[in-house]
Structure 1
Amino acid sequence: MGGLTEDPAFLATTFVVIDFEATTPKGYPAQPIEVAALALRYEEGAWTAACRPFASLIRPPAFAPVTPAVTAQTGLTVEQVNQAPSPAQALGALDRRFAAGKQYLLVAQHAATEANIIYNQREHCPALARIDLLDTIPLAKYVVPGLPSYQLDMLLAHFCIKQPADRHRAYADVDVTAQVFVRLVSAADEGGQLSDLAALVKIAGRTAKCNMPAQGGLFDI
């Protein structure tokens, strides 16, 4: 492999692939109904799972019920999510996976979606909300230019990754997004397109909203 996977900063980072399924109630931000995460590290020339995968359903608030359209896409039903842990319980359990003093980056397909959900739920997951993100879409556009689109299904087809039977469930999407991310890193590394973690972040990075400087009022003194 090339310089990227030999970079000390890259080797010191745990990459946490994350995905949410959500309802989108009118007049409110998206409300999570499922979350999954898979932590990966690159060690001794290979990718390894840093810990057990995490997945949990999440009970949405009353103003954001599971609709027939959500059920049609995800397979999740009103009955399933109504018996699920609360956002505080589910996201709190995920948040406790992140150890103080370690270096993490979240990885997501169209990371703005995950970034917004995490920010809006930040009271339940303060550690998670402070982790910056990598977006597989700009990374894919840089590494494999010229595809008709950069939706996840197109990237799966390009890399000959099998479509999961439960596509649009959080863990299934995390699993295939992780495979896409690994293929993209491998291609960029072998082609010498990215020299180190800083170059990867420059192409695909997205700052967590909690890490953005606060905007003062126009007439603040």
Structure 2
Amino acid sequence: MGALTDDPAFQATTFVVIDFETTTPSGYPAQPIEVAALALRYEKGMWRETGRSTSLIRPPAFAPVTPADTAQTGLTPEQLRHAPTPADVLGALDRRFVAGNQYLLVAQHAATEANVIHHQREHCPALAHVDFLDTIPLAKHLVPGLANYKLDTLLARFSIQQPADRHRAYADVDVTAQVFTRLITAADGSPQLSDLAALVKIAGRTAKCNQPVQSGLFDL
């Protein structure tokens, strides 16, 4: 297509679009109740899906599904009562990341997903060390002037049909992936986005596990 997608580093990267649905208990970080991930590689001029995963997750007792959560996602406490634990779900997802392969996570407003993963890092140590691309700063760079950069706004901008189950992780991952690939098509025509490093400079977010830890002033 263009300079970006011709970059060997870009072609060597598996882009994993990820989305969580969560509860937000008072006094605790957001707790996952559903996760979906969709792995994409750019090969021979086209995108290829290389893996997909989705699962409900049983929240801990301190983070029950509320009526507001159900109104947002459609998920009910009954649906999650016998779902697997975060350790089981995120552990299984973590094992799909192969040591030595190059990955980037892709998310709409990546800070949300980054925080969930960081708080669950004991269950997914490999996943917790994968950096992100955030579709919001990328869209701001490539499609300036929108009223906002919410997912629904980007779907409308790119004429992507709203999924029937909007705010379910598996549906949001699919449309986020469509937004991402449309943005990459636009990026291929941008002189400022000539390779993966330039893409990361504009839209990258370092995983919290990869950020340097500042030692105390008086550590001995």
Common fold: TM-score over 0.5: yes
How much does 1:190 deviate? 2.6
What corresponds to 1:205 in structure 2? 204
Q: Aligned equivalents of 1:212 and 1:190: distance in 2?
A: 31
Kindly report the root-mean-square deviation, in angstroms, between the aligned alpha carbons of the 2 structures: 0.7
What corresponds to 1:179 in structure 2? 178
What corresponds to 2:24 in structure 1? 24
How much does 1:184 deviate? 0.3
1:2-41 alignment, distance < 5 Å: 2-41=2-41
What corresponds to 1:85 in structure 2? 84
Tell me the secondary structure at the aligned position of residue 146 of structure 1. coil
Q: Aligned equivalents of 1:92 and 1:184: distance in 2?
A: 31
Q: Aligned equivalents of 2:211 and 2:180: distance in 1?
A: 25
Q: Deviations over 1:163-185 (max 9, x none)?
A: 00000000100000000000000
Which letter maps to 2:134?
Answer: D
- The answer (yes or no) to whether the contact 1:111–1:133 under 8 Å persists in 2 is yes
Q: Aligned equivalents of 2:204 and 2:189: distance in 1?
A: 20
Q: Deviations over 1:122-164 (max 9, x none)?
A: 0000010000000000000000000000000000000000000
How much does 1:82 deviate? 1.3
- The answer (yes or no) to whether the contact 1:143–1:193 under 8 Å persists in 2 is no
% same residue: 78
Moved over 4 A (4+): none
Which letter maps to 1:194?
Answer: L
- The answer (yes or no) to whether the contact 1:21–1:170 under 8 Å persists in 2 is yes
Tell me the secondary structure at the aligned position of residue 182 of structure 2. helix
Structure 2, unmatched stretches of 5+, are none
What corresponds to 1:67 in structure 2? 66
- The answer (yes or no) to whether the contact 1:18–1:38 under 8 Å persists in 2 is yes
Does residue 42 of structure 1 match 2:42?
A: yes
How much does 1:191 deviate? 3.7
- Count residues with an aligned counterpart: 220
Which letter maps to 1:177?
Answer: T
How much does 1:93 deviate? 0.8
Q: Aligned equivalents of 1:144 and 1:218: distance in 2?
A: 44
Q: Aligned equivalents of 2:137 and 2:189: distance in 1?
A: 18
**Taking structure 1 as the reference length, what is the TM-score of the superposition?**
0.98
Structure 1, unmatched stretches of 5+, are none
